[in-house]
Amino acid sequence: MSNIDKRWEGLTITRELSIGVYYSGVRHKTFTLRVAMSGDLIAAQQEHPVGPIQLVTLEVYRQQLLALGDIPAEVLTTELLRAELAEADLALIADADAELEKKLTPPSAASAIGDESSTT
């Protein structure tokens, strides 16, 4: 796994794929995903303006992937993911993205300790 840029410190999640992405004779399973940025979806839609939503989604996740096993960043392309990422593993990346988003969401003011109950 490569070293992660300091700007993503505290804004990533590392998980394991079930099947992994086959590259250079090895299945790479450990991935690090960063938080989604506002430009990720825009860039994905610009890259694939008439592509299906699944392709745009895959492109967004590719941009969020900071590391996938020992696959060099320049090789970690949407085309490689299209060819080698199983649907089950795509779902694991989506779950990790949702988990990261939830982890970074501040607790609701309504759930603060000591607040009065809304029921009477």
Report the 3 state secondary structure along 50-66. Answer: CCCHHHHHHHHHHHHEE
The residues of the chain scoring below 70 in pLDDT are: 1-4, 109-120
pLDDT tens per residue across span 18-40: 999 999 999 999 999 999 998 98
For residue 7, the model assigns a pLDDT of 82
Distance CA 19, CA 69 (A): 12
Q: What is the pTM of this model?
A: 0.81
Crossing angle of helices 53-64 and 38-47, rounded to 10°: 130
For residues 117 and 49, the answer to whether their CB atoms sit within 8 Å is no
> What are the boundaries of each domain within the chain?
6-102
